[in-house]
């Protein structure tokens, strides 16, 4: 089955579930961070993480975070991984894995959790394009007085 390696632009979306965090006592480990992220609209239900979760949800085979990451390295396709953690900030990368080597991944999107809020990071392209557009407007307004001459 061919899976999409593109992501919808949800950079204007902020998501949180403070009730869930209060119920479980906050982020106690990386597994809980990904479990929280999986409830957000940013989660890909076709990801390898979801497949592994579905395979173990009704039995006591829930794996540790390290075991899950090891199992993901043996699969190809879309996966989510925590790439940086410095609580209360967590950075999660959606990526396409081509093989078992650590560098056999292509980033698709980046997300971050700050406190209880989950966001999609803008792409470098969108940041630069926005800055250039703003500078163009500033330059255009700067030349307005010369139009009268």
Extents of the domains making up the chain: 14-121
pLDDT per residue rounded down to tens, the chain (149 residues): 445 566 788 888 999 999 999 999 999 999 899 999 999 999 999 999 999 988 877 766 667 778 888 889 999 999 999 999 999 999 999 999 999 998 899 999 999 999 999 999 988 887 888 788 888 777 777 777 777 76
**What six digits make up the tokens of 43?**
């989660």
- pTM for the full model? 0.79
Rounded to whole angstroms, the maximal C-alpha distance in the chain is 79
Q: How far apart are CA 37 and CA 92, in angstroms?
A: 9
Q: Does residue 148 sit in helix, strand or coil? A: coil
Tell me the fold of 14-121: Nuclear Transport Factor 2; Chain: A, (3.10.450)
Signed CA dihedral, 83, 46, 3, 109: sign only:
negative
Q: What is the pLDDT of residue 131?
A: 82
């Amino acid at each position: 089955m061919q899976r999409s390696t593109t992501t919808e632009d949800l950079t204007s979306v902020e998501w949180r579930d403070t009730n869930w965090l209060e119920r479980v006592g906050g982020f106690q480990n990386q597994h809980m961070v990904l479990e929280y992220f999986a409830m957000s609209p940013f989660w890909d239900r076709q990801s390898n993480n979801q497949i592994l979760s579905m395979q173990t949800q009704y039995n006591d085979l829930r794996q540790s975070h390290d075991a899950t990451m090891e199992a993901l390295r043996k699969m190809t396709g879309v996966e989510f991984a925590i790439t940086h953690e410095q609580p209360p900030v967590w950075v999660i990368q959606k990526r396409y894995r081509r093989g078992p080597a650590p560098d056999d991944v292509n980033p698709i999107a980046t997300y971050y959790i700050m406190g209880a809020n989950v966001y999609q990071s803008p792409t470098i392209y969108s940041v630069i394009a926005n800055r250039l557009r703003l500078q163009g407007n500033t330059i255009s307004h700067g030349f307005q007085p010369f139009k009268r001459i």
